[in-house]
Amino acid sequence: MNIHTHNFIDAERWTGRAFFGGWDRTEAGTINVTDPANGTVLASVGLGGPADIARAAAEARAAQKAWARMLGAERARILNKAADLLEANGTELAQWIMKESGSIHQKAMIEIEHGALFIRHAATLATAPSGMFLPGMDDRENYARRVPHGVVGVISPFNFPLVLSVRSIAAALAVGNAVVHKPDPRTPISGGIIISRIFEEAGLPAGVLQIVPGGADAGEALCSDPNVAMISFTGSARGGAKVGEIAGRNLKRVQLELGGKNALIILDDADPDVAASNAAWGAFLHQGQICMATGLVLIDEKIEQAVAERLVAKAAHLPVGDPSSNQVALGPIISDAQAAAIQAIVDDAVAKGARLLVGGRGEGRFYPATVLSGVTPGMLAFEEEIFGPVACIVSFRSDEEAIALANRSDYGLAAGVISADVGRAMAVGQELEVGQLHINDQTVNGGPYAPFGGRGKSGNGTRVGGPADIEEFTQWQWVSVKSAATPYPF
């Protein structure tokens, strides 16, 4: 890919820079962006440190009031224009997502399509009713209205860098907040530059959106910055705990969208072909690097063999390699360290008695679709989020046992139940302690109209998307109006 042949993304504009409402150099220097498939340096962007975050937060705060005062219809127009630009330039922008995050084309296009949908959904919030009249307590009028928090800090991960950034940014902006966004330094283009460019071209007033790629130090600075009122964090449970701690200490509102160990429960009356297809998609899409990936495939022992055989056949036929060839189903794992972590979990399972049915040995960052059976509590493969293409089969003998196994997890993000009997699947599903429940579907589901989030280690009970956005990105203000001031006893 020659970055200079791309028109919209226009690398001359941002090389070595971050977006402070305009493109500028950062105090912390620059960082190279590499392709995880082959180590090629794709670009260089400005790296943000604490001083750069402080600058961005101060500039965002200065710009926020005028943005909030702007007519909602005008904010909506700008957001919809940004969505138009994302779609219109989708083919070009998807190339960056593929290169930077090791995505196959199909997954990159899902990001473009969903990114635009999230922005358009957010635009509707800008013109939604935002308050209510309250019952009278005396002769004054009382009303309550939703007002923006001020500056929202957004922190996002590498795996779906565009969607997971834009879903919070667009919702926060739509209702009148300014935003300081810190994408993962490994994916600053898909998670940052693309978003800056679409909003820049859409006519967003300068300063309202600041995008500064950086590491944990920049993220922590955002969580303690006095100009930031709320943090919207998407990432690991470990990162989220740290973010929650710092934001809490600084009395900021904090939204935590964290990891998952998501169970797909396949009951004994399920069609084995369809069930295996669901398990393969849920476990292997984007190399399993998805918070809602199917982390446990719980199968009734009566059909375990039938489903496992089909799942193995699918896994064995999924080519792994550089997505730019357009010939692969699985691209690279994001880093060598993450590839090694996947291998350690698979090795631990085998050492503790699980059976390796296919895959199980990576080559560098390329890890094949892998199926383990006989996975049981006590194995890392049962307990931990793997973030790799590993389907962990756990067998059960009754619906009750399946529920108990699924609820053992510390996480509580998503679950799926597959059965020929919808009522039975729903009866199982309603016992599961998760934020998203999918009947007759696997666990990887998301979109702009649904509230998305988890319980336990998957988050702090907050949600992003759909009806949750107004709740999360605004707060109540009570306004009382007397026709004239009246005296008090003293």
By annotation, the residues acting in catalysis are 257, 291
Closest CB to ligand NAD among 239 and 323?
A: 239
Q: 């383990």: which residue's tokens?
A: 372
**Residues within the interface to ligand NAD (CB under 6 A):** 155-159, 164, 182, 184, 215-216, 219-220, 234-236, 239, 242-243, 257-260, 291, 385, 387
In whole angstroms, how close is the CB of 160 to ligand NAD at the nearest point?
6
The CA angle 106-186-177, to the nearest 5 degrees, is: 85
Do residues 264 and 278 make contact, with C-beta atoms less than 8 angstroms apart? yes
In whole angstroms, how close is the CB of 216 to ligand NAD at the nearest point?
4
| DSSP letter assigned to residue 40 | -
| Strands (DSSP E) found in 149-302 | 151-155, 178-182, 209-211, 230-234, 253-257, 262-266, 294-300
| Strands (DSSP E) found in 37-166 | 41-46, 131-133, 141-148, 151-155
Cα atoms found within 13 Å of the Cα of residue 197, Cβ hemisphere only:
27
In whole angstroms, how close is the CB of 214 to ligand NAD at the nearest point?
7
R_g (Cα) of the chain, nearest Å = 24
In whole angstroms, how close is the CB of 412 to ligand NAD at the nearest point?
11
Residue 333 token pair: 């794992």
Q: 């398990």: which residue's tokens?
A: 279
Q: How far apart are CA 140 and CA 291, in angstroms?
A: 49
Residue nearest to ligand NAD (CB): 219
Question: If DSSP codes are grouped into helix, strand and coil, which group holds residue 173?
Answer: helix
Neighbouring residues of 36: CB distance < 8 A, sequence distance ≥ 6? 101, 102, 186, 331, 332, 333, 334, 335, 365
What angle, rounded to 10 degrees, do the helices at 216-224 and 50-69 form? Answer: 50
Closest CB to ligand NAD among 370 and 458?
A: 458
Q: How far apart are CA 336 and CA 339, in angstroms?
A: 5
How, if at all, do strands 474-481 and 141-148 pair? antiparallel
Closest CB to ligand NAD among 44 and 445?
A: 445
Nearest by Cα to 265 from 445, 402, 167: 402
Which helix or strand (DSSP H or E) is residue 279 part of? helix 272-284
In whole angstroms, how close is the CB of 88 to ligand NAD at the nearest point?
26
Closest CB to ligand NAD among 136 and 248?
A: 248
Closest CB to ligand NAD among 89 and 168?
A: 168
Closest CB to ligand NAD among 429 and 435?
A: 435
In whole angstroms, how close is the CB of 165 to ligand NAD at the nearest point?
9
Q: 């995008």: which residue's tokens?
A: 211
β-bridge partners, 411: 456
Q: How far apart are CA 476 and CA 130, in angstroms?
A: 9
Closest CB to ligand NAD among 291 and 298?
A: 291
In whole angstroms, how close is the CB of 182 to ligand NAD at the nearest point?
6
**Tell me, what amino acid is at 126?**
A
In whole angstroms, how close is the CB of 188 to ligand NAD at the nearest point?
10
